Amino acid sequence: MLLEVKDLRVQFVTRRGVVKAVDGVSFSVERGETLGLVGESGSGKSVSCLALMRLVEAPAGRIMGGSVLLEGEELLDYSEREMRQVRGGQISLILQDPLSSLNPAYTIGNQVAEAIRIHQGMRGRELTDSVVEILTAVGIPQAEQRLKQYPHQMSGGMRQRVAGAIALSCRPSLLIADEPTTSLDATVQAQYLRLLSELQEKFQFGMIFVTHDLGIVARLCDRVAVMYAGRIVETGSTRQIFNEPAHPYAKALLATLPSLDSRKKRLLTVTGQPPIPINLPPGCSFAPRCPEVMDVCRETFPSRSSLGDQHGVLCWLHPSPDGAPSKAAPQASHG
């Protein structure tokens, strides 16, 4: 197993209370495999990813517990120095917005070179060569001439490729892509996704693809984890989630997809706002918006039940056989 996350918890202390942004999340990724992390904005997807790299901002944000195993090594026990070697070395992350994630004050050559220099200690000609090599690999034409260009001199699609080059420059074993295509237009987006698949084929890294676009998930991911209010409410293979969604939230998300068989395009089906996870009441956090809500949902949090190979869900519609409250979501015991 490349990455194994168990019961990860992240909190933010805010003026209005403690936000449990990530509340007992577990998932795993293997080499060459892509996991889709799906959910609305604020559901804790991005925070989970940053937490893997231990980049939750102190002092407001803190990792409260859990375990992050990268090839068997516990990252939460690493020193800051060891962690820096992991960041950009073994784990890389592509941020959402290519416009703002590249430093406007440095040339792209410099920015790609920085990561290689830090992790592989290259200098001079050798360094320049590997920068050109990786830029070419992500499909940037005439990479040599572009080394001296600044981010603002490139198009959005090119910048996103540069961000990809930075992420892949040190041949990471795990790549996290945090909605990397939201700011790109449709054609560029398709090209970029194709590129990511090709690169994964080539470098055999494990990938976590964060998105709220189920269309992309269907095309790109092997497995899916659906997040809601800091928890993963359903996991399964892409086929399982798309064909037999078990959680009402997953069903609602799927219903937002333009369907093929019926002509009418239903775009709006998940009604209401996702909760900000501050002082959540006991019970299922989706209950207020759930079309299939029952009394038990408002009182007790459902426990995980298995629906078959890999497929799991947290929902009272599918009570776990032993009926015991889930370990992943003890209520009010640590609030």
- 109, 206, 274, 312: which one binds other proteins (CB under 8 A): 274
**Near other proteins by CB under 8 A, which window of 51-59, 125-133, 217-225, 302-310?**
51-59
CB of 323 to other proteins, least distance (A): 31
Distance CA 193, CA 138 (A): 11
Tell me if 317 contacts other proteins by CB under 8 A: no
In 3D space, the residue among 130, 119, 61 whose CA is nearest the CA of residue 87 turns out to be: 119
Distance CA 235, CA 245 (A): 9
Distance CA 170, CA 89 (A): 5
Contact string (CB under 8 A) for other proteins, positions 1-40, x = contact: -----------x-xx---x-x------------------x
Tell me if 97 contacts other proteins by CB under 8 A: yes
Q: Token match 């998105």: residue?
A: 211
Tell me if 271 contacts other proteins by CB under 8 A: yes
Q: Token match 């407001």: residue?
A: 60
**Near other proteins by CB under 8 A, which window of 145-153, 237-245, 292-300, 317-325?**
145-153
- 20, 161, 212, 231: which one binds other proteins (CB under 8 A): 212
CB of 270 to other proteins, least distance (A): 6
| Complex with other proteins: residue 224 or 305, whichever CB lies closer | 224
For residue 125, the one-letter residue type is: R
Residue 305's SS3 state is: strand
| Complex with other proteins: residue 8 or 93, whichever CB lies closer | 93
Q: For residue 75, report the phi and psi dihedrals to the nearest 5 degrees.
A: -70, -30
Tell me if 42 contacts other proteins by CB under 8 A: yes
CB of 252 to other proteins, least distance (A): 9
| Complex with other proteins: residue 37 or 320, whichever CB lies closer | 37
| Complex with other proteins: residue 19 or 138, whichever CB lies closer | 19
| Residue 8, both tokens | 């990860």
* Residues contacting 275, CB < 8 A, separation 6+: 229, 285, 288
* Residues contacting 37, CB < 8 A, separation 6+: 27, 45, 48, 49, 208, 209, 210, 211, 225, 227
How many other β-carbons are positioned within 10 Å of the β-carbon of residue 202?
10
For residue 318, the one-letter residue type is: H
Distance CA 211, CA 41 (A): 9
Tell me if 181 contacts other proteins by CB under 8 A: no
User: Strand order in 3-14's β-sheet?
Assistant: 17-29, 3-14, 61-70, 73-74
Query: Could you give the dihedral angle defined by the CA atoms of residues 291, 296, 273 and 334, in that order, rounded to the nearest 10 degrees?
Result: -160
CB of 149 to other proteins, least distance (A): 9
| Residue 257, both tokens | 């997809």
For residue 148, the one-letter residue type is: K
Contact string (CB under 8 A) for other proteins, positions 216-255, x = contact: -------------------------------------x--
- 153, 243, 279, 306: which one binds other proteins (CB under 8 A): 153
Binding-site size for other proteins (CB under 8 A) equals: 55
Tell me if 293 contacts other proteins by CB under 8 A: no
Please report, as ranges, the residues that interact with other proteins according to CB under 8 A: 12, 14-15, 19, 21, 40-42, 46, 53, 55, 59-61, 84-89, 92-93, 95-97, 100-106, 114-115, 118-119, 150, 152-153, 163, 166-167, 212-213, 253, 256, 267-268, 270-274, 276, 289
